[in-house]
Amino acid sequence: MVRLVLQRLALLVPTLFGLSVLLFLWVRALPGGPATALLGERATPDAVERINRLYGFDRPLHEQYVTWLGQLLQGNFGVSTRTARPVLDEFLARFPATIELTALALLIAVGVGIPLGYVAARHQGRLLDHTTVVASLLGVTIPVFFLAFLLKWMFAVQLGLFPSAGRQSASMVATHPTGFYVLDGLLTREWDAAWDALMHLVLPAIALGSIPLAIIARITRASVIEVQNADYVRTARAKGLGPGRLRRRVVLRNAMLPVSTTIGLQVGLLLSGAVLTETVFAFNGIGSFLANAVFNLDYAVLQGFILFIAVVYALVNLAVDVSYGLIDPRMRAR
């Protein structure tokens, strides 16, 4: 098991290096340029040349890449051309918001998707199973931004049950030692601030977690049905293993391998979906800032934020590989 972890960590180095090259070239291939986007109507040839010289965009691509890579290795992600602040500072300011949102969305997706898929498999061919399949199809096909607008209009604007935008009410006075608003409220015992921050998270998290929930439910259902019909399950049942122990120790445990893989893949979907969700709900996280960086061709932000998301995605896949060993003892010997 230790060897597997070390192998996966060793593979991260060439993977991230190749990704950095592709990311650098992709950002530079975007139409227009950061100087033009930054200056707008004031984008005269002299002004564009001055901005390009200031940020080094007039140098050859290989020199720009070597400089950027060297800065990355030193923990310097560059400076945003839009805010004139270091990218790392911008990231640290918005990182807690996105983590709170994606964590709650993943909790909803896993907490509802796995039981829903399992119950549907247990009632295969019945009304509950058909309803789950139809609902999961709708969950996959409805775009995140459309569901976000629908939830916002219905539950925030029409019913007034939840806030419509932001991370916390403007009238709320609270201290934020960590930047994680819900956690901050619990640590400082400002219960009203923690509840207010949680209420602001509910609608964006539901919208963001809808597609992963549907996918996890479908994969769980298919996996449980496949395991239920396996020979070793029939053998365990014939040997007198009780229904409860059979479901927990044989069916559900063996069905979790493809489900854990699916959950790991959904993390990347959550991080990418956060761009649209945070924009709709004016949620000041990485996603909304990344969307602004795309419109403004802010190279430093695009490169730094996307590379970070790639690192998180790679680490999550490493965690999925480790979870295989916890679920299936046969994987520990590899």
Q: Tell me which range, 64-73, 206-215, 250-259, is most confidently predicted by mean pLDDT.
A: 206-215
What b/e sequence results for 44-81 when a residue is b if at least 16 CB atoms lie within 10 Å of its CB, and e otherwise? eeeebeebbeebebeeeeeebbeebeeebeeeebbbbb
Segment 110-160, tens digit of pLDDT = 999 889 988 888 888 888 888 888 888 888 888 888 888 899 999 988 888
For 295, counting Cβ atoms within 10 Å of its Cβ (0-12 exposed, 13-18 middle, 19+ buried), the class is exposed
Residue 264 lies in a domain: yes
pLDDT at 82 over 60: yes
The CATH number linked to 264 is: 1.10.3720.10
Residue 170 lies in a domain: yes
pLDDT at 331 over 70: no
Phi, psi of 332 (to 5 degrees): -70, -25
158, two tokens: 């029409």
- pLDDT at site 108: 92
Instruction: Tell me the mean pLDDT in the region 28-51.
Output: 69
pTM (two decimals): 0.78
Amino acid present at 85: R
Higher-confidence residue of 81 and 194: namely: 194
Residue 86 lies in a domain: no
Q: How many domains does the chain have?
A: 1
pLDDT at 329 over 60: no
Per the DSSP assignment, residues forming a β-bridge with 86 are 79
- pLDDT at site 195: 92
Residue 130 lies in a domain: yes
Instruction: Tell me the mean pLDDT in the region 27-31.
Output: 70
The span from the CA of 187 to the CA of 191, in Å, is 9
For 193, counting Cβ atoms within 10 Å of its Cβ (0-12 exposed, 13-18 middle, 19+ buried), the class is buried
The residue range of the domain holding 152 is 96-285
Residue 280 lies in a domain: yes
Higher-confidence residue of 217 and 304: namely: 217
- pLDDT at site 233: 72
Instruction: Tell me the mean pLDDT in the region 278-292.
Output: 82
Residue 157 lies in a domain: yes
